[in-house]
Amino acid sequence: MNVQRLLAQLALSIGAVAALPAASAADYPNRTIRIVVPFAPGGGSDVVTRLMADKMAADLGAAVIVDNKPGASSIIGTDAVARAAPDGYTILMTNSAITSNPWLFKLPFDTAALVPVTMIASAPQLLVAHPSAPFKTLKELLAYAKANPEKATVGTAGAGQLSHLAAEQLQRMSGTRLTVVHYKGSGNSQGDLMAGQIQMSFGTAPGFIQHIKNGKLVPLAVSGAERIDALPDVPTVAESLPGYDLVNWFGIFAPPGTPAPIVERLYQSVSRALANPEVSARLVKDGFKVRSMSPAQFDRTVRDEMASWQKFVKDNKLKID
């Protein structure tokens, strides 16, 4: 009889534990949500996150805070989310580097285990130069770089970031050799660029547009296949090097094991924020393209890009020192 009672109590306990995700999903959210950005403040991911956070807070009825955790090419912040409780209160806003990092670094987490929630926006990299640089166009840069191997300096947001891969691709397709300088975030790279410590930098448009308009930076080229509305007179790299096409996207991920109802709630909140004319207009003005995707669509995109970057890194024998 005691054994039967024990088994009954055990069954009840197991049932209660199994019901926890559903229960927590039903009243989600009921406390502050933390969006981890694995980059320093000022970069594209940070700009997009802060734009979305207020709208999401109003929609979800809970506070939404932004927590910058830069370092190790976004690995530190991503690892914090990978280890977080799968309850929807700690989520990740990152960029497409999450799909190339597995092939460039030894990671402390399984990228494929993270739960894709939705893509938010995409933007090409913008290659800009300090006014003191001895080139004012991409063609002038390529001519200078061929005549002066490794003399032209270009900053990136970090080893393995898309800005790094953009610089590597530029060298390979043009047959030039640049000196690539890695920083801990695009904000740090931009600071040295503005001070003239480096000649060029790859980065997303929002951090550069106002400085371009003020004449403090010179736009050389856009990394995507098409010019952007925010800077229609700036040519694409592909106009000089056909086939060159690199675009950065920004999206939200949840910790492994996050219940589907919570993922769906987050996706719907982001979708409503993106549908807000104020938000979409601001994104376009800053050089972004709105790219809302369902969790299933985003999951397919992430897996496809992981396979593509695996091939790219292998074929080009890329190594991170």
Per residue in 82-130, pLDDT (tens digit) is: 999 999 999 999 999 999 999 999 999 999 999 999 999 998 899 999 9
Q: How many CB atoms lie within 10 A of CB 285?
A: 13
CATH number of 30-121+250-315: 3.40.190.150
CA 39 to chain centre: 9
Matching fold, domains 30-121+250-315 and 124-239: yes
- C-alpha to C-alpha distance for 165 and 53, rounded to whole angstroms: 29
- pLDDT for position 297: 97
- C-alpha to C-alpha distance for 261 and 24, rounded to whole angstroms: 10
Tokens of 18: 């199994």
Tokens of 303: 């897996």
pTM summary value:
0.81
Which spans in 175-259 are helix H? 186-194, 209-213
- pLDDT for position 71: 84
> Which top CATH class is 124-239?
alpha beta
- pLDDT for position 44: 75
**What mean pLDDT is predicted for residues 289-310?**
95
| Domain ranges across the chain | 30-121+250-315, 124-239
Collect all residues with Cβ–Cβ distance below 8 Å to 80 and sequence separation of at least 6: 36, 69, 90
Collect all residues with Cβ–Cβ distance below 8 Å to 57 and sequence separation of at least 6: 33, 63, 64
- C-alpha to C-alpha distance for 177 and 79, rounded to whole angstroms: 33
Q: Name the 3-class secondary structure at 80.
A: helix
Per residue in 191-240, pLDDT (tens digit) is: 999 999 999 999 888 778 889 999 999 999 999 999 988 899 999 999 99
Collect all residues with Cβ–Cβ distance below 8 Å to 43 and sequence separation of at least 6: 157, 185, 186, 187, 203, 204, 207
Per residue in 162-202, pLDDT (tens digit) is: 899 999 999 999 999 999 999 877 778 889 999 999 999 99
